[in-house]
Structure 1
Amino acid sequence: MKNLFTILSITLFLVSCSKKEADLIVINSNTYTVNNNFENAEAFAVKDGKIIAVGTSKEIQDNFTSENIVNAENKAIVPGLIDAHCHFYRMGLQQQKVSLEGTKSYEEVLQKLVDFQKEKNTNFITGRGWDQNDWEVKEFPTKEKLDKLFPNTPVAVGRVDGHALLVNQAAINLSGITKDTPVSGGEIIVENGKMTGILIDAAMDFIKFPSTSKKEAIQGLLDAQKISFSYGLTTVDDAGIAKETIELIDSLQQSNDLKMRVYAMVSGDNQKEIDYFINKGIIKTDKLNVRSFKVYGDGALGSRGAAMRKPYSDRENHFGALIYSPERYKELAKQIAASDYQMNTHAIGDSANTWMLKTYKDVLKNTKNRRWRIEHAQIIAEEDFTHFDNILPSVQPTHATSDMYWAKDRIGAERMKGAYAFKDLLNKYGKIALGTDFPVEQVNPFLTFYAATIRKDIDNYPENGFQIENALTREETLKGMTLWAAYFNFEEEEKGSIEVGKFADFVILDQDIMKVEGSKIPKTKVVATFLNGEKVY
């Protein structure tokens, strides 16, 4: 008996020695690898933050050993989700300001401001999230009631899209502007010879907001990370941030306080910062990627700031506007084209898209693999779709389901044919990146998945889906939130799929979004989020 025990012990020792040590093993899963063949796998092993093997549960357990084994119990696993266009830092700061998302009337906005001030008692009330298109009276609010409620405290609260600002007289007095102040690339709304309190796009820059302290900035980034991890996001494309913020992100990542991977688009509003980053060159670590500039082509459709070829259908002789002069866009594009950086331009209206596509084509000529992006690509003239042959469309599906109630009134039936046309854009380029634009929309990526594939709101409207011919398949949508989004960032070799050699970023879901009934997709919850093989949620 003693000899038998010795033989068994030696055998077990030899078997264990023949196995490779892993930091983490995941078994019994329904993993969507999002590799080239879009294959499923049961299991995978992780070492030093990267995937080292993918296969069946038996294969992985036969070849690897680990003290950390996750039994997924046949739950769906997808690669770490990438939000290809959001405002990560801004969303974090918003947690410390008044939130007006979901308000159904101006009166509700006012009440939230009153309640916020009672609790916080700040010297300057800021926040964002109101959307007059969600109200029964779908007109811009005016400042009279704000002035009565807050005669001495400045108030400046942004529209949900960030392209319009509601301010009171105290904020106006602090800024020094009048109804006659000249504005290029925006508008001061005046009615009956008086300022209404609404500022559009460039006009918002006149308002002097209180500066953000370093403590508030750090807390904002950490708050944003916590929220994002809870939704399975492991990479965020932060669209338009300053050098100071990028340096803070890098510092927090170096200290491992901020684990989130960030593709940072440098704000294209500051020439000094453009010069700085071009001279410095691309900045790339495992967590930070600085290789692009976010430029504003125009405003938003909801505030009628989007630049249109013909007048808005619901406002006579109003076209919206480009933020800068055509000459400025050419100048910017030439400078960026002479570097290794990408140019990622916000373009909503058909005129803005036409101009930016033409500008891109003129400066890039026949250069290859520059991966310049059009952010939003919301309304495209029929003849402009062909220009997306080497220009990348980065879109936000929930914009379609948020705007569908009123967009046709804004631009008319004919222009709607080229609006929110995700499938048409995908067919032209062959890839499409999907994001949310949070906090303009909700952070929840499963609403993105639902809007892209089902094209309805959560109340099942409209019955047959909004312009359903431009819906994406579930496979295309998952790729747009993982591998294709990574490609848009020049990161497809390191993330976006569960394959050997890539970062072990993955998400365990409570239901299979690739198979569950469409109406159930928005109810999807994240069971766990892993980054570098570490459980971060």
Structure 2
Amino acid sequence: MNIIFTHTDKSRLVSTVILLLFSILLTAQKPADLIIHNARIYTVNQSFDTAEAMAVSKGKIVAVGKSSDILNFYRSKNTQDLQGKTVFPGFIDAHCHFSGYATDKWKCELWGTKSWEEIIQRLTAYSKTAPLEWIYGRSWDQNNWTVKEFPNKSKLDQLFPDRPVYLKRVDGHAAIANQKALDIAGITAKTKVRGGEIEKINGKLTGILIDNAMLLVEKHIPEISDDLAIRYFGELQQKCFSYGLTSLHDCGMSVHTFGLLEKAQEQEILKMKIFALLEDNPGTYSEWIGKGRFTNGNITFGGYKVYSDGALGSRGACLLHDYSDKKGWRGFLLKDKKHFLNLAQKLSKSNLQMCTHAIGDSANRTILQIYGDVLNGKNDRRWRIEHAQIVDKDDVGLFGKYSVIPSVQPTHATSDMNWAESRIGNERLKHSYAYQDLLQQNGWLPLGTDFPVEEINPIKTFYAAVARKDAKHLPVGGFQKENALTREQALRGMSIWAAKAAFQDNELGSLEVGKSADFVVLSDDLMNISEDRILQTKVLQTFSGGQKVHGQ
């Protein structure tokens, strides 16, 4: 029997076959929560491979590869054609003060002020609506003024004789207080403090307090409510997401603040991945070192942030030789060496990290030697020195010898470059902010911002690292360009190496199968555009755990 098909029948048969094949294809395809394709994806894996597409399921990356392969093997109701745009792993800030910055939101913002007179104007306006009796300001920097000298409290005393005023310098290592605040703290010209300085001129208090002297006043300043702190966490988180940050290392918080972060997470207000380092409080050693490292949702407790010295801008950094602009003065350690050795010995018996702030060459030598005595050679403890700003040339090799990780902030170099030489002279400056030299010690280098000391923006971190220039694109040839990082090194430092600095490199930091789907979509390809276009790059979208947390 011959079966004859009409044209209509043939069309129906073809349609049926196509539908059947499509049905089979759909059945064979694996479901995904999100597919992005037609992109330039920098995976930041070991080979620094690029890809075109990525599939995400349950917050994890399940496939990375060519667009055709991903679209053939996966299906999703949420599929994005990125039209060739660049995708990076979500940025990780390896050193910042997230919770401290958030809870400072009620304070008078003094960032970017150009003179003491401008600060007075801001304070006068702020005082009219200040939420507390205390007038508290943050982030002034005399190095940005025409007269680059510490101010005097006399004008504050005149304007606010009955209200305490406390203004913290940008680095958090110096402050100025008016007489009312000094009286509340019981500070007189005879007051002594170890690990700090109460400045006097001709025997009279100027109001300037450096490092541990600040604590005498700060303990009297009331804290905001827990509910308000949690609200501020949420608000700052959104700002971080807008800059492409999906994870950060919060350096030096109290046990109470750690609990507030956990509470904010329980309330689904906080979704940021936070690696938390507790402040150096001996009262917490027994319980928290005993607990060891642990993770609760997106929050991980991983160790202690310790301060060995102050900052260069306030001349509290501990130097081996005199400051070039203050003869007879070398700064100071904030605590006795025995304190740092005691904590190092305790932490060496746990799985926790010791992460110590060290700016001056003397402080860096002291901590490197203590680490070396406890760690005893090569290891994988990933103990860190935060900042590692001024390191004597004879001590650089100790980072590699004892596997100590320098955790640095590239924008510090470009913020300090205009005045650092006046503090330490040309010879010491050659061995300062030496990021390429430090990277070579262990083969990797985590990068951060130290916000709010610097701006949150990771694009500025990238630019400062590779160009060694500030936002004005100066200096023309770059500051000590021999210590610039390559673009690949900078990106690794802001992603996989930052994750590695927190023992999280198996979970975060690169776009590989099995890792959290944390990534950013950028307006430009930072790996290929000209240097002068880097700072124009925008974060278009930010994804955390496969969920869009910023962008359209």
Which TM-score band applies after superposition, normalised by the shorter structure?
A: over 0.9
Supply the distance in 1 between the matched residues of 2:383 and 2:235 (Cα, whole angstroms). 30
Q: Which residue of 2 aligns with 1:393?
A: 406
- Is it true that 1:160 corresponds to 2:173 in the alignment? no
Decide whether aligned partners of structure 1 residues 39 and 367 sit closer, same or farther in structure 2, where only a CA change above 3 A counts.
closer
> Alpha carbon RMSD of aligned pairs, Å?
1.1
Q: Which residue of 2 aligns with 1:457?
A: 470
- Out of 471, 478, 486, which is 1:473 matched to? 486
Q: Which residue of 1 aligns with 2:179?
A: 169
Q: Which residue of 2 aligns with 1:18?
A: 28
Q: Which residue of 2 aligns with 1:144?
A: 154
Provide Cα deviations, 1:79-134, integer angstroms capped at 9, x if missing partner.
Answer: 01000000001121232211100000000111111111123363111121100000
Supply the distance in 2 between the matched residues of 1:286 and 1:425 (Cα, whole angstroms). 33
- Map 1:492-511; keep pairs closer than 5 Å: 492-511=505-524
Q: What amino acid is the match of 2:37?
A: I
Q: Which residue of 1 aligns with 2:5?
A: none
Q: Which residue of 2 aligns with 1:219?
A: 231
SS in 2 for 1:195: strand
Q: What amino acid is the match of 1:217?
A: A
Alpha-carbon shift at residue 497 of structure 1 (Å) = 0.3
Q: Which residue of 2 aligns with 1:246?
A: 258
Q: Which residue of 2 aligns with 1:402?
A: 415
Q: What amino acid is the match of 1:437?
A: D
- Out of 435, 442, 445, which is 1:422 matched to? 435
Q: What amino acid is the match of 2:454?
A: E
Give the alignment's TM-score, normalised by structure 1. Answer: 0.98
Alpha-carbon shift at residue 254 of structure 1 (Å) = 3.0
- Map 1:56-75; keep pairs closer than 5 Å: 56-75=66-85
**Structure 1 contact 91–220 (Cα < 8 Å) conserved:** no
Alpha-carbon shift at residue 181 of structure 1 (Å) = 1.1
Provide Cα deviations, 1:302-353, integer angstroms capped at 9, x if missing partner.
Answer: 0000000001000010010001001111111111111111000000000000
SS in 2 for 1:536: strand
Q: Which residue of 1 aligns with 2:110?
A: 100
Supply the distance in 2 between the matched residues of 1:366 and 1:388 (Cα, whole angstroms). 10
Q: Which residue of 2 aligns with 1:532?
A: 545
**Structure 1 contact 95–223 (Cα < 8 Å) conserved:** no
Q: Which residue of 2 aligns with 1:257?
A: 269
Q: Which residue of 1 aligns with 2:221?
A: 209
Supply the distance in 2 between the matched residues of 1:339 and 1:3 (Cα, whole angstroms). 71
SS in 1 for 2:41: strand
Moved segments of 4+, more than 4 Å: none
**Structure 1 contact 79–482 (Cα < 8 Å) conserved:** yes
- Map 1:64-463; keep pairs closer than 5 Å: 64-120=74-130, 122-207=132-217, 208-268=220-280, 270-366=281-377, 368-389=379-400, 390-463=403-476
SS in 1 for 2:129: helix
Deviates more, 1:289-298 or 1:8-17: 8-17
Equivalent pairs counted in the alignment come to 536
SS in 2 for 1:328: helix
Provide Cα deviations, 1:233-290, integer angstroms capped at 9, x if missing partner.
Answer: 000100100111111112222332210000001111x111222211112111441111
SS in 2 for 1:53: strand
Supply the distance in 1 between the matched residues of 2:407 and 2:532 (Cα, whole angstroms). 25
Provide Cα deviations, 1:139-164, integer angstroms capped at 9, x if missing partner.
Answer: 10010001111111111110000000
Supply the distance in 1 between the matched residues of 2:50 and 2:514 (Cα, whole angstroms). 17
Unaligned runs of 5+ in 2: 1-8
Give the alignment's TM-score, normalised by structure 2. Answer: 0.96
SS in 2 for 1:383: coil
SS in 2 for 1:200: strand
Supply the distance in 1 between the matched residues of 2:343 and 2:273 (Cα, whole angstroms). 27
- Map 1:19-38; keep pairs closer than 5 Å: 19-38=29-48
Q: Which residue of 2 aligns with 1:488?
A: 501
Q: What amino acid is the match of 2:466?
A: T
Supply the distance in 2 between the matched residues of 1:68 and 1:60 (Cα, whole angstroms). 13
Alpha-carbon shift at residue 183 of structure 1 (Å) = 0.5
Q: What amino acid is the match of 1:502?
A: K
Alpha-carbon shift at residue 472 of structure 1 (Å) = 0.2
**Structure 2 contact 90–519 (Cα < 8 Å) conserved:** yes
**Structure 1 contact 349–380 (Cα < 8 Å) conserved:** yes
Q: What amino acid is the match of 1:527?
A: L
- Is it true that 1:54 corresponds to 2:32 in the alignment? no
Q: What amino acid is the match of 2:134?
A: F
**Structure 2 contact 106–131 (Cα < 8 Å) conserved:** no
**Structure 1 contact 21–66 (Cα < 8 Å) conserved:** yes
**Structure 1 contact 504–531 (Cα < 8 Å) conserved:** yes
Alpha-carbon shift at residue 3 of structure 1 (Å) = 3.9
Identity of aligned residues (%): 48
Supply the distance in 2 between the matched residues of 1:399 and 1:412 (Cα, whole angstroms). 17
SS in 2 for 1:393: strand
Q: What amino acid is the match of 2:274?
A: V
- Which one has a bigger Cα radius of gyration? 2
Q: What amino acid is the match of 2:409?
A: Q
**Structure 1 contact 151–169 (Cα < 8 Å) conserved:** yes
Provide Cα deviations, 1:361-398, integer angstroms capped at 9, x if missing partner.
Answer: 00111462100000000000001110111000100000
Decide whether aligned partners of structure 1 residues 121 and 46 sit closer, same or farther in structure 2, where only a CA change above 3 A counts.
closer
Decide whether aligned partners of structure 1 residues 94 and 524 sit closer, same or farther in structure 2, where only a CA change above 3 A counts.
farther
Supply the distance in 2 between the matched residues of 1:283 and 1:468 (Cα, whole angstroms). 40
Supply the distance in 2 between the matched residues of 1:119 and 1:82 (Cα, whole angstroms). 36
Supply the distance in 2 between the matched residues of 1:324 and 1:115 (Cα, whole angstroms). 39
